[in-house]
């Protein structure tokens, strides 16, 4: 029989119970706080990496601006003609607009210095200072950001080069170099935030030499980075690692390598900043835990008296019951307090879970918003540049055709074909740029009653070159009258032409294509049928989706981008119709059926003069003298053609191609109207208008923008800059003439 366990007073049991209950909670709390502190430190590390990545991006943006400027200089006609002294003067002018540039140099491919803007023309020049980047440019024919090196000049100053190859006819002719001082990178490495986590921000070149530093730059710029820095930053693109700074202090280094320059951007933070949360949290939890343990033991010791009293009362009640007396026991509040504590603990847990869910949703929403803003900005920039590049070559073509027409040289049918298809191209460019409207199917239609035969004739004319080249036999059966629809003629022509072109592409040479139209089911059914390669059953349901195409040969002779049939469906549905495809299988041809509602009661189109609206005559709106118009455009062909057209319309016109010419012509010519290209080289159209206004004052002309940028933001900006009108290339000459005629110019009314 075992000996009984030694008995202890109730107070000691309660103290042991309190300590045993609270100790796991304290340990758990310490673990949780430690993990939270680690997460906070990880978040600080991520912020440091983002800061390093941002610093790398800022450096690349700075270098990209210098590279683009050098590339623009490399296109100078002085280089084509070998006029190096004139080109040096041009480089000096550009250098004065670039605060970061110390000098501009031109090298031959063998490394010989042809000129240096810091030395007079013909003076002896120092040799090449930084050979490695020069060799890379010669080998790769790509722009290069070089490494920090000591200059060969008298001052022996630190600098690094930005080199751009000058290519002519596929051959390297020169290497154009801008020399940049490390001091110019001070704004790049400066910390834009007020956070105290970042201690030092540094840029290190490709060879591991410090190019810029926020702390004590005079001491460290030009010095090699530490071996541990080079080892860790060469191992990966970006990251964080512990190190000892060049000052000898223990730090954490967050870095990110720039692309394509292959420099390294680093953000250095003292270890105490990132380690402090963990240390402070553990000290706080440890101290608080000890306090709680002592408080719990003391509380258990104090409150045990209540429990003892309740037990004594229970014992007295049991004794009284044994003696036959009625038991009596005062109520105890211990159970209610326990339930209250459990409820509060449960409520706290639920609240913490809700807060974590809220923070996660807010973070996801912020990321999605940032991605959407970035995508929208990229789309806007892409559409603006696309519109500018597509419209610029169309402008001189449209204007030249109008000049030929007014000179009576455009009477041949070929000129009408060119003019009609050019207008079609212009409309396609406009639709291509309105991506948001196309994606929603909101394509603008100019409807009028038209016979389907006229549409078919134009579509056959469009597809004829491809059909003839592939030696197809085309048979059309469309009544000349009686098949009238209310439609946009150009858009419906595009539908039929796309179907014919599609059949021609996917039918082997020498095949047969049939096009016929009939009344059907209260409308008109148009069918394009061929005996080409046919369609698989799996392809037909997806055929009218964007970028879906059938099998193509390796030379891609049959296919484009896969948007033709998608455009067919969108345009047909916009006209209230439908389209479907059918094939008996591969090698058995295909048939496309378009159904359109028949036009029964069409309003006759308004006469041309009614649609145009009233236009004030020159006698009503202008003074008796000839109106003088200044055309400023760096596109020589477009400027000259527009000036000829204005002269033929009764106006006195002058031409300039850049800011200096524009200022000279404005002072001597004194124009009433100035048509300014916004995308001028050097000084843009806004700057030209500002300079003309500064020189002429109240005698300034009325300004109108002439540009390939036609989005809403571009129009708003030109209006805010004081431009009276915003013309988008290719310009509509009737709109331009109406604008000039409608002006009642006074010297005080100049924009």
Residue whose pair of structure tokens reads 């879906």 in the numeric block: 548
The answer to whether residue 539 scores a pLDDT higher than 90 is no
pLDDT of residue 122: 85
Q: 443-597: which CATH topology? A: Heat Shock Protein 90 (3.30.565)
pLDDT tops 80 at residue 22: no
- Select, from the ranges 100-114, 189-203, 593-607, the one with the highest average predicted confidence (pLDDT): 100-114
Collapse the DSSP code of 69 into the 3-class scheme (helix H, G, I; strand E, B; otherwise coil) and give the result: helix
Is a pLDDT exceeding 50 seen at residue 683? yes
Output the average pLDDT for the chain: 79
> Any idea how long the chain is?
751
How much is the pLDDT for 681? 86
Q: Specify the pLDDT at position 171.
A: 92
Residue 524 to residue 533: CA distance in whole angstroms: 27
CA distance 532 to 691: 64
Position 161 pLDDT exceeds 90: yes
pLDDT of residue 686: 93
Task: Write b or e for each residue in 295-333: b if 16 or more Cβ atoms lie within 10 A of its Cβ, otherwise e.
Answer: ebbeebeeebeebeebeeeeeeeeeeeeeeeeeeeeeee
Q: At what angle do helices 334-406 and 413-433 cross, to 10 degrees?
A: 170
3-state secondary structure of 609: helix
**How much is the average pLDDT of 342-346?**
54
- Mean pLDDT in residue range 640-662: 90
Q: Lowest mean pLDDT: which of 40-54, 209-223, 313-327, 537-551?
A: 313-327
More confident: 432 or 535: 535
pLDDT-derived band at 736 (thresholds 50, 70, 90) equals confident
pLDDT for the residue 616: 33
Asked whether the beta carbons of 495 and 594 are under 8 A apart, the reply is yes
23-36: buried (b, 16+ CB within 10 Å) or exposed (e) per residue?
Answer: eeebeeebeebeee
Six token digits for residue 317: 């009640």
The mean per-residue pLDDT over the stretch 481-506 comes to: 90
State mean pLDDT over 586-614.
65
Please check whether residue 104 is in contact with residue 177, taking contact to mean a CB–CB distance below 8 angstroms: yes
- Between the CA of residue 368 and those of 61, 361, 371, 750, what are the distances in Å? 24, 11, 5, 47
Q: Which helix (H) or strand (E) holds 683?
A: none
pLDDT of residue 70: 92
- Is pLDDT of 707 > 60? yes
Tokens in use for 93?
Answer: 């002018």
DSSP string, 109-159: TTS-EEEETTS-TTS-----S-HHHHHHHHHH-S-EE---EE-SSSS--EE
Tell me the pLDDT tens digit for each residue of 389-401: 666 676 677 777 6
pLDDT value of residue 291: 76
pLDDT band at residue 166 under the 50/70/90 scheme: very high
Name the residue with tokens 């909670």: 25
Comparing CA positions, the residue from 112, 121, 44 lying closest to residue 83 is 121
**pLDDT confidence tier of residue 499, bands split at 50, 70 and 90:** very high
- Sheet strand arrangement including 200-204: 210-213, 200-204, 264-270, 250-257, 238-244
pLDDT at 418 over 80: no
Of 209 and 522, more confident: 209
**Residue 575 above 80 pLDDT?**
yes
Query: Among positive and negative, which fits the CA dihedral 636, 640, 645, 649?
Result: positive
Tell me how far apart the alpha carbons of residues 157 and 742 are, in angstroms, rounded to a whole number: 61
Residue 281, pLDDT score = 67
Residues 25-48, mean pLDDT to the nearest whole number: 76
Strands 113-116, 473-477: parallel, antiparallel or unpaired by DSSP? unpaired
Is a pLDDT exceeding 60 seen at residue 196? no
The average pLDDT across 280-297 equals: 70
Query: In this predicted structure, which of 198-207, 306-315, 453-462, 579-588 has the lowest mean pLDDT?
Result: 306-315
pLDDT score of 247: 73
Give which of 89, 88, 70, 261 is closest to 177, Cα–Cα. Answer: 70
Measure the CA–CA gap between 498 and 462, rounded to whole angstroms: 9
Per-residue pLDDT band for 620 (boundaries 50, 70, 90) equals very low
Local structure of residue 717 (DSSP, 8 states):
H
H/E element holding 444? Answer: none
CB atoms within 10 A of CB 169: 5
What CATH number does the domain located at 370-429+626-751 have? 3.40.50.2300
Q: Give CA–CA dist 312/231, Å, rounded.
A: 76
Whole-angstrom distance, CA of residue 119 vs CA of residue 141: 27
Instruction: Indicate whether 310 pLDDT > 80.
Output: no
The pLDDT confidence band at residue 516, using thresholds 50, 70 and 90, is: very high
Higher pLDDT, 30 or 631: 631
Higher-confidence position of 258 and 610: 258
Residue 175: the pLDDT is 94
Q: Which range, of 424-438, 458-472, 626-640, averages the lowest pLDDT?
A: 424-438
For 8-310, CATH gives 3.30.450.20
Residue 542: predicted pLDDT? 79
State residue 114 phi and psi, 5-degree precision: -90, -40
- Torsion sign (Cα): 36, 37, 40, 46: negative
Give the model's pLDDT for residue 543.
81
Decide: 217 and 186 in contact? Cβ < 8 Å. Answer: yes
CA R_g for the chain: 40
**Residues with Cβ within 8 Å of residue 242, at least 6 apart in sequence:** 250, 251, 252, 253, 271
Domain positions in the chain are 8-310, 370-429+626-751, 443-597
Contacts of residue 501, defined as CB under 8 A and 6 or more positions apart, other chains included, come to 462, 463, 466, 564
Tell me how many degrees the CA angle 31-36-37 measures, rounded to the nearest 5: 95
What pLDDT, on a 0 to 100 scale, did the predictor assign at position 449? Answer: 92
Q: What's the maximum distance between 2 C-alpha atoms anywhere in the chain?
A: 136
Average pLDDT over residues 650-666: 91
Question: Which pLDDT does position 669 carry in this prediction?
Answer: 92
Q: And the tokens for 244?
A: 């000892």
pLDDT of residue 435: 43
Convert 91-119 to b/e letters by CB count within 10 Å (16 or more is b): beebbeebebbbbbbbbeeeeebebbbbb
How much is the pLDDT for 649? 84
- Give the C-alpha separation, 725 to 735, whole Å: 10
Q: Determine the average pLDDT of the residues in 211-220.
A: 85
Burial group, residue 597, by CB count within 10 angstroms (0-12, 13-18, 19+): middle
C-beta of residue 628 within 8 angstroms of C-beta of residue 670 = yes
Q: Is the pTM of this model over 0.75?
A: no
pLDDT at 105: 93
pLDDT higher than threshold 80 for residue 81: yes
pLDDT at 563: 64
């Amino acid at each position: 029989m075992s000996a009984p366990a030694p008995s202890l007073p109730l107070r000691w049991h309660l103290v042991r119970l309190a300590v045993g209950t609270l100790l796991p909670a304290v340990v758990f709390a310490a673990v949780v706080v430690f993990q939270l502190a680690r997460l906070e430190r990880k978040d600080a590390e991520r912020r440091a990496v983002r800061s390093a990545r941002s610093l790398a991006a800022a450096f690349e943006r700075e270098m990209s601006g210098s590279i683009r400027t050098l590339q623009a200089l490399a296109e100078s006609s002085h280089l084509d003609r070998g006029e190096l002294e004139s080109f040096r003067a041009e480089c000096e002018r550009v250098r004065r607009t670039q605060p970061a540039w110390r000098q501009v140099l031109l090298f031959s491919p063998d490394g010989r210095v042809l000129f240096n803007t810091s030395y007079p023309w013909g003076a002896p020049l120092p040799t090449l200072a930084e050979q490695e980047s020069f060799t890379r440019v010669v080998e790769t024919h790509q722009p290069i950001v070089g490494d920090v090196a000591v200059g060969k000049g008298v001052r022996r100053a630190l600098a690094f080069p930005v080199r751009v190859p000058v290519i002519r006819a596929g051959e390297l002719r020169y290497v154009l170099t801008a020399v940049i001082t490390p001091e110019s990178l001070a704004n790049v490495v400066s910390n834009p935030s007020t956070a105290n986590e970042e201690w030092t921000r540094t840029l290190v070149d490709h060879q591991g030499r410090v190019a810029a530093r926020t702390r004590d730059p005079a001491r460290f710029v030009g010095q090699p980075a530490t071996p541990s820095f080079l080892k860790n930053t060469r191992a990966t693109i970006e990251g964080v690692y512990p190190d000892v700074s060049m000052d000898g202090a223990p730090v954490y280094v967050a870095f990110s390598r720039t692309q394509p320059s292959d420099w390294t951007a680093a953000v250095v933070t003292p270890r105490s900043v990132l380690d402090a949360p963990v240390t402070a949290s553990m000290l706080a939890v440890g101290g608080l835990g000890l306090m709680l343990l002592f408080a719990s033991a003391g509380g258990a010791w104090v409150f045990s008296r209540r429990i003892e009293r309740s037990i004594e009362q229970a014992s007295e009640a049991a004794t009284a019951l044994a003696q036959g007396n009625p038991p009596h026991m005062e109520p105890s509040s211990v159970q209610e307090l326990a339930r209250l504590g459990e409820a509060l603990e449960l409520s706290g847990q639920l609240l913490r879970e809700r807060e974590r869910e809220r923070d996660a949703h807010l973070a996801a929403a912020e990321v999605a918003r940032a991605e959407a803003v970035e995508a929208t900005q990229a789309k806007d920039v892409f559409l603006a540049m696309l519109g500018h590049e597509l419209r610029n070559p169309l402008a001189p073509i449209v204007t030249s055709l109008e000049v030929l027409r007014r000179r009576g040289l455009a009477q041949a049918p070929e000129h009408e074909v060119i003019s009609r298809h050019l207008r079609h191209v212009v409309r396609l460019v406009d639709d291509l740029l309105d991506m948001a409207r196309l994606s929603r199917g909101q394509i603008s239609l100019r409807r009028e009653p038209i016979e389907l035969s006229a549409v078919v004739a134009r579509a056959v004319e469009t597809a004829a070159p491809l059909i003839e080249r592939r030696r197809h036999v085309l048979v059309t059966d469309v009544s000349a009258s009686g098949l009238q629809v209310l439609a946009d003629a150009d858009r419906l022509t595009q539908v039929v032409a796309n179907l014919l072109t599609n059949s021609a592409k996917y039918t082997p040479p020498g095949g047969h294509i049939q096009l016929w139209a009939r009344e059907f089911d209260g409308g008109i059914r148009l069918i394009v049928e061929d005996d080409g390669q046919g369609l698989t059953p799996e392809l037909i349901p997806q055929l009218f989706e964007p970028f879906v195409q059938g099998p193509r040969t390796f030379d891609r002779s049959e296919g484009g981008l896969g948007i033709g049939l998608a455009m067919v469906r969108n345009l047909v549905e916009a006209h209230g119709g439908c389209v479907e495809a059918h094939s008996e299988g591969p090698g058995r041809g295909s048939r496309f059926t378009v159904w359109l509602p028949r036009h029964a009661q069409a309003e006759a189109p308004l006469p041309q003069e009614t649609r145009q609206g009233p236009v004030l005559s020159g006698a009503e709106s202008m003074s008796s003298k000839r109106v003088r118009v200044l055309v400023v455009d760096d596109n020589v062909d477009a400027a000259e053609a527009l000036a000829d057209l204005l002269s033929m319309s009764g106006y006195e016109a002058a031409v300039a191609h850049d800011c200096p010419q524009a200022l000279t012509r404005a002072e001597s010519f004194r124009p009433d109207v100035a048509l300014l290209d916004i995308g001028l080289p050097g000084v843009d159209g806004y700057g030209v208008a500002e300079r003309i206004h500064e020189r002429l004052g109240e005698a300034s002309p009325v300004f109108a923008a002439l540009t390939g940028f036609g989005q809403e933001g571009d129009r708003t900006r030109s209006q805010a800059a004081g431009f009276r009108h915003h013309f988008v290339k290719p310009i509509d000459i009737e709109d331009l003439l109406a604008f000039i005629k409608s002006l009642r110019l006074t010297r005080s009314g100049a924009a």
